[in-house]
Amino acid sequence: MVRVITQETYDEVVKENIDEFDMAPDEAIKEAIAQFEAQGVDLSNIIKDLALGSGDNHLVSETISKLKDLCATKKYNVDEVLKELDVLKSECQKDIAHRVRAGKEGAYKVLLDLLYSQHSKLFEELGDRDTKLMISVLDAMAALMEMQPDLLDAKGVDLIKNILDNVENEDIIIATLKWTTNCCIKHEMNRQKLFAKNISENLKLLLKVTGNTKLLSETLQVIRKLTLDDDVRVEFGKAHDHAKELGAQMLEPLTNLLKENTKPPLVSELMLTIASLLVRHELCKMVSDCGVSVLFTILADNYDNVGVVQQADKLITALAGHDDVKRDLVKSGIVPITVLILNRHANNATATSLTLKCIAALCLREAPHSQQFVDAAAPQAILQCMKLHPDSAAVQKNACWAIRNMVARCKEHNAKFHELGVEPLLNSAYEKFGADFGFDIKSALRDLECDVKLDEQWTGKGVQLEY
């Protein structure tokens, strides 16, 4: 069981090391950390480097106190507030311990009050100082709530919606979207509350804004975060429902944007966003109808860019979930391109595993596709990747899937794989990863008609059943 302590307890130990043992501050901190770690205490939420006195002397606490004092009156000094906001943002960006401290000191309420002090100006033409202040507060709020989304309340949700509805300044919208992104990570209820406010309509409108790469990038981030299912505190989330609704509204404009942005920096983000929304067959078909031929242009233009190739692999794999779309992709000539990519980026384990997964998806239940992959020398490329990455679980597992799907309905391809030495490679993989995905390896061996011992998953006890 992990033990935890308060910031005050840690500070007292450091102070004791300084006062009673005449240690230098750095030595006192080092000794305190060693002492607590030896006791099994988790110090991830403790500010370690600034504990040189009582808790009130932490820079985080002092900054928030100053902000409270400055904002106590309506006629506060904007320059002084901006200065303290920069300090707070800088402190929050250091680590989670500083953010937790700021949250406990009431930073969220201070920042929210500052934002609401600008609320009456949302419908007016904001001046330069108002704009600068609002962006600074939003940036500090985003920094505060990184990996700390529990701070968001109903007033915060309303304010996000209000800003997106009424503000036209793109810099303010970008800062608001960054805040929204941090609110959605690992927090299902925040995602549901924002979705209930119909934020999807705002995001759809933002996709139509042209000429601002950063704005589009932040919009895509929010779309993807709304489809996450990463909150372990919630048994059943609405990630699928969100993806389905967002997909129905946005896949067509997203695909059109992909046609206009076939090179970095946006091409990878667009493909990743589209792939995250492909949760139903009709959505795959929608993208296909908009024109997936753009994928060939992207792969041709970015053949050497491993980052773009990885996202293209994910998108092709997602689209291949629809059998008709999968057949259209193969008819269009995706097979030789996929094998070329596998060979080109064979030294990159991540790209290799994603491309192997793509091959497995394209071959699933499609014997003609398997034949095309064999004709394109895919077996040689697959086995070479297995040899290059013997310790990569993802590469070995996805290679097993690709091999199995290529031979399951085409036993005539077995001879080719055996000729290339597939059996020793699979047996070697089983020795290393049998406990993790031994079933997949044995399935590939079985379909290759190798000598393999299959375990009975369940056996009866020989008891006569009574009717």
pLDDT over 90 at 119, yes or no: no
Question: What does the pLDDT read at residue 54?
Answer: 42
Helices 378-388 and 334-344, axial angle in degrees (round to 10) = 30
> 3 in helix, strand or coil?
strand
Q: Do domains 58-196 and 333-451 have the same CATH topology?
A: yes
For residue 41, which phi and psi values (nearest 5 degrees)? -85, 135
Amino acid at 409: R
| Tens-digit pLDDT profile for residues 260-278 | 999 998 999 999 999 999 9
Tokens describing residue 193: 């509350």
For residue 4, which phi and psi values (nearest 5 degrees)? -130, 155
For 297-415, where are the E strands, in sequence order? none
Task: Tell me the domain boundaries of the chain.
Answer: 1-55, 58-196, 333-451
Residue with tokens 């597939």: 422
pLDDT class of 52 with cuts at 50, 70, 90 = very low
Q: Report CA-CA distances (Å) from 290 to 21, 121, 246, 252, 417.
A: 72, 41, 16, 7, 38
pLDDT class of 291 with cuts at 50, 70, 90 = confident
Contact, 374 vs 367, CB < 8 A?
A: no
Tokens describing residue 441: 């390896």
* Residue 127: exposure state from Cβ atoms within 10 A (0-12, 13-18, ≥19): exposed
Question: pLDDT > 70: what percent of the chain?
Answer: 95
**DSSP conformational letter for 16:** H
Query: CATH topology for 58-196?
Result: Leucine-rich Repeat Variant (1.25.10)
Q: How many Å separate Cα 212 from the centre of its chain?
A: 23
- Give the span between the Cα atoms of 158 and 349, in whole angstroms: 44
Most confident of 2-11, 46-55, 112-121, 295-304: 295-304
Across the range 235-242, mean pLDDT stands at 95
Question: What does the pLDDT read at residue 57?
Answer: 63
Q: For residue 12, what are the β-bridge partners?
A: none
Average pLDDT, the chain: 91
pLDDT class of 394 with cuts at 50, 70, 90 = very high
Q: Which CATH architecture has domain 333-451?
A: Alpha Horseshoe (1.25)
Task: Give the least confident one: 154-163, 317-326, 382-391, 457-466.
Answer: 457-466
